[in-house]
Structure 1
Amino acid sequence: MTPKQNDILCRVEGDAPMGALMRQHWIPACMSEEVVERDGTPLRVRLLGEDMVVFRDTEGRIGILDEQCPHRRASLALGRNEESGLRCLYHGWKFDVDGNAVEMSSEPVDAKICATMKTKAYPVHEAAGFVWVWMGDPKQVDSFDPPAWSAAPDDKIAIVKMHAACNWAQVLEGAIDSAHSSSLHSSNMPTAGNVSGSTATDEHWLRPSADKSPRLDVERTDYGFRYAAIRKPVQEPDKQDYVRTTLFIAPFTVMIPPNNRYKLIQMLVPIDDTNCMFYWIAWHETEGISQDEWRKFCGAVPGVDVDPVTFRKFRNAENNYCQDREAMKAGDFTGISGIPIQDMAMWESMGAIADRSHDKLGSSDKAIIEFRKQMFSAANAVARGEPAIGTGKDRIPHAQLSNYEGMVGKDEDWRDRM
């Protein structure tokens, strides 16, 4: 990719085409647990380069407003959340969840400005453990499409949240890259000859293959694309293949291969041009993993591994992700604890926006190539005034999408297992 093409793929702020594409989709603003308290502390959120404040009012309604008060631009994140509105500390102007000024303490009661004053309020939808925001034209709000994990009960949904100090696209490329797991995560996903698919324990995901160079088969779809990473298994390699399928659900969601206990989805949500928020959801309709277990397994416990408010990592580039070289000598492949932190170390080491013109891609990068081609084309389509990828009345509901992980006979098509 040329630097100009790379910018179109990565940049989301202002009038960037990719940002315009994102604005035609509902975007996760935060987890519901971050604003669970009525009249609780307002939450700062930054998405696509825009600063907002999220709050739950006295009646339990969620509001998302422009962070800056329209009066003199003081931050509403510092305001008082009380009596069904958010009050700016500077002059006492108070706004409800719809952005209406319900009190303006510094103005006469009969002042004309009191009847017309509003601040920017974003359409909001709360579902499946998240608060979702619509950042596009408020007159063209699309119907909310429940995510795949919405079919699971709340106690079978676990969420990891972590800030990544780089652009959203290189994080998403890591999420769709099945080949890297055989190396980078090899200590967490060791080979075991006695399993027929990914098998979760408290500390590992056991795999039935030692094959580090899968062959990839990619198929474009209306929602993005899906592909199979096909490996040679330990058992009966002449009769079967070990197949792991991944779905890219435009614009920022990846359904990665499941294990025997839970299904997995990642969302790579752009904060601005050079930062994104990483969400990793583990869920299952009947099995699953608890929230505490999931965050501990991933090394993403708030207050222990990440800041409980900003979700910035305590192990980061400044301290080399606390890499343990002695552990590496003893057999640990990376010396970095936790699958997400291992990924973060790779993504962030590329720079805030990786210069893709220097990439030397191979056959294991078919999904990466497809993502770049598809989303570059999709961003340009939006710039021409066309609908965003994954929208429209004929789209496949996300709750109907699924993937596969396991053995497939040599004479079978992996698509039949989806």
Structure 2
Amino acid sequence: MTPEQNDLLCRVEGEAPMGKLMRQHWLPACMIEDVAEPDGTPLRVRLLGENMVVFRNTEGRIGALDELCPHRRASLAFGRNEECGLRCLYHGWKFDVDGNAVDMSSEPVDAKLRGTMKTKAYPVVESAGFVWVWMGDPENVIPFSPPNWSAAPAEKISIVKMHGGCNWAQVLEGSIDSAHSSSLHSSNMPTATEVSGSTATDTAWLRPSADKAPKIEVQKTPFGFRYAAIRKPIIDADKQDYVRMTLFQAPFTVHIPSNDQYHLSQMLVPIDDVNTMFYWIAWHPTKGISQDAWRKFCGAEIGKDVEPVTFKKRRNAENNYLQDRALMKAGDFTGIYGIPCQDMAMWESMGPIADRSEDLLGSSDKAIFTFRTQMYRAAQAVQKGEPALGAVEPRVPLAKLMSFEGMVPKGDDWRLINVSEEERRLTGVFADKEEVEDLADAVS
């Protein structure tokens, strides 16, 4: 990619086409637990370079307002959250969750301004552990489509939240890079002969393959793409393949192959051009992992591993992510605790915005190649006034999207695994072998 193409892919602030694309989707502003208390502390949120404040009012309704009071531009994050409104400390102007001014202490009781004053309020939905906001055209709000983890009850949804000090696209490329897990996370995902699929323990995910060079195949879809990382299993390699299928759901969600205890999804949400909020959701309708256990496993416990409110890491670039070289000599591959921090060390080391013009891609990077070309072209389309990828009706129901992990008999088509009837009906033929071959040729 040229530097100009890289900017189009990465930048989201202001009038950037990629930011406009993302504004045609519902965006996660925060976790519900961040604003669980009625009349609790307002939460500063930054998305796509815009600052807002999220709060829960006395009656339990959620509001998301422009952070700055429209009067004199003081921050509402310092405001009093009381009696069904957020009151600015500077002059006492108070706004409800819909942005209406319900009191203006500094203005005469008969002032015309009292009847017309509003501040910017974003449409809000609470679903599946998150507060979602609409930042696009308020006259063209698309219906909210719940994510796939909404299939689980609230107590079976566990969320890791962590700030990343770099651009969203290099974080997302890590999430769709199946090959790196066999090296970077090899101490957390060790090979085991006694398992037939990814098997979760308290400290690791055991795998039935030692293959570090998976064959990657890609299939584009209306919501983004699927890809399969096909590895040689330890047992019966002549009869079966070990397949890990990942879904990229535009613009920033990735559904990662599950293990035997819980499903896995990630959202790599742009705070601005050079900061990202990383969410990792572990969920299951009946099994799953507890919130406390999930955050401990990931090294993302609030107050211990990440700061409250900001979710900035205590293992960070300034302290080399507390990398333990003695532990590395003892056999740990990275010496960095927790899968997310291992990833963060790699992503952030690339710089605030990775220079893709210097990349030398290999055959294991087909999904990376697809992401870059697909989202670059999607941003170009939005730049021309066309609708965003994944926002065109009829849309594939997001709640139906599922990844896959397991043994597949040789010769079986992975593209037909975990495909809902709605998706088959909306998209027709799936196995676009010619396109897969074109991608392979382009990468090689």
Normalized against structure 1, the TM-score is what?
A: 0.99
CA contact (8 A) 2:219 2:415 kept: no
Partner of residue 194, structure 1? 194
Partner of residue 314, structure 2? 314
Does residue 397 of the first structure (1) align with residue 397 of the second (2)? yes
- Deviation per CA, 1:173-211: give whole Å up to 9, x if none: 000000000000000000001100000000000000000
Partner of residue 409, structure 2? 409
Partner of residue 203, structure 2? 203
Partner of residue 4, structure 1? 4
Supply the distance in 2 between the matched residues of 1:35 and 1:416 (Cα, whole angstroms). 40
Supply the distance in 2 between the matched residues of 1:204 and 1:332 (Cα, whole angstroms). 12
After TM superposition, give the deviation of residue 260 of structure 1 in Å: 0.4
After TM superposition, give the deviation of residue 99 of structure 1 in Å: 0.5
Partner of residue 279, structure 1? 279
Partner of residue 302, structure 1? 302
After TM superposition, the structure 1 stretch with the greater mean CA deviation from structure 2, 386-395 or 135-144, is 386-395
Paired AA for residue 167 in structure 2: N
Paired AA for residue 193 in structure 1: T
Q: Secondary structure at the match of 2:51?
A: strand
Q: Secondary structure at the match of 1:161?
A: strand
CA-based RMSD of the aligned residues comes to 0.6
- Deviation per CA, 1:274-303: give whole Å up to 9, x if none: 001000000011110000000000000000
Supply the distance in 2 between the matched residues of 1:378 and 1:387 (Cα, whole angstroms). 9
Q: Secondary structure at the match of 2:402?
A: coil
Partner of residue 353, structure 1? 353
After TM superposition, give the deviation of residue 28 of structure 1 in Å: 0.1
Supply the distance in 2 between the matched residues of 1:383 and 1:417 (Cα, whole angstroms). 35
After TM superposition, give the deviation of residue 414 of structure 1 in Å: 1.4
Aligned length: 418
Partner of residue 17, structure 2? 17
After TM superposition, give the deviation of residue 115 of structure 1 in Å: 1.1
For residues 86-101 of structure 1, the aligned pairs below 5 Å read 86-101=86-101
Does residue 363 of the first structure (1) align with residue 343 of the second (2)? no
Normalized against structure 2, the TM-score is what?
A: 0.94
Partner of residue 269, structure 1? 269
For residues 321-340 of structure 1, the aligned pairs below 5 Å read 321-340=321-340
Q: Secondary structure at the match of 1:196?
A: coil
Partner of residue 43, structure 2? 43
After TM superposition, give the deviation of residue 35 of structure 1 in Å: 0.4
Paired AA for residue 103 in structure 1: D
> How many percent of aligned residue pairs carry the same amino acid?
76
Partner of residue 343, structure 2? 343
- Deviation per CA, 1:31-60: give whole Å up to 9, x if none: 000000000000000000000000000111
- Deviation per CA, 1:145-171: give whole Å up to 9, x if none: 000000101111100000000000000
Supply the distance in 1 between the matched residues of 2:36 and 2:411 (Cα, whole angstroms). 51
Supply the distance in 2 between the matched residues of 1:415 and 1:366 (Cα, whole angstroms). 16
Supply the distance in 1 between the matched residues of 2:416 and 2:5 (Cα, whole angstroms). 36
Supply the distance in 2 between the matched residues of 1:8 and 1:255 (Cα, whole angstroms). 24
Partner of residue 118, structure 2? 118
Paired AA for residue 189 in structure 1: M
Paired AA for residue 253 in structure 1: T
Partner of residue 153, structure 1? 153
Paired AA for residue 40 in structure 2: G
Supply the distance in 2 between the matched residues of 1:376 and 1:413 (Cα, whole angstroms). 29
After TM superposition, give the deviation of residue 415 of structure 1 in Å: 2.2
After TM superposition, give the deviation of residue 112 of structure 1 in Å: 1.2
Partner of residue 81, structure 1? 81
CA contact (8 A) 2:328 2:334 kept: yes
Supply the distance in 2 between the matched residues of 1:106 and 1:415 (Cα, whole angstroms). 63
Q: Which runs of 5+ in 1 are unaligned?
A: none
Supply the distance in 1 between the matched residues of 2:166 and 2:403 (Cα, whole angstroms). 28
Partner of residue 220, structure 1? 220
Paired AA for residue 310 in structure 1: T
**Which of structure 1's runs of 4+ aligned residues deviate more than 3 A?**
none
Q: Secondary structure at the match of 1:140?
A: coil
For residues 251-266 of structure 1, the aligned pairs below 5 Å read 251-266=251-266
Supply the distance in 2 between the matched residues of 1:415 and 1:23 (Cα, whole angstroms). 30
Supply the distance in 1 between the matched residues of 2:231 and 2:100 (Cα, whole angstroms). 58
Supply the distance in 2 between the matched residues of 1:39 and 1:239 (Cα, whole angstroms). 60
Q: Secondary structure at the match of 2:376?
A: helix
Q: Secondary structure at the match of 1:269?
A: strand
Q: Secondary structure at the match of 1:138?
A: coil
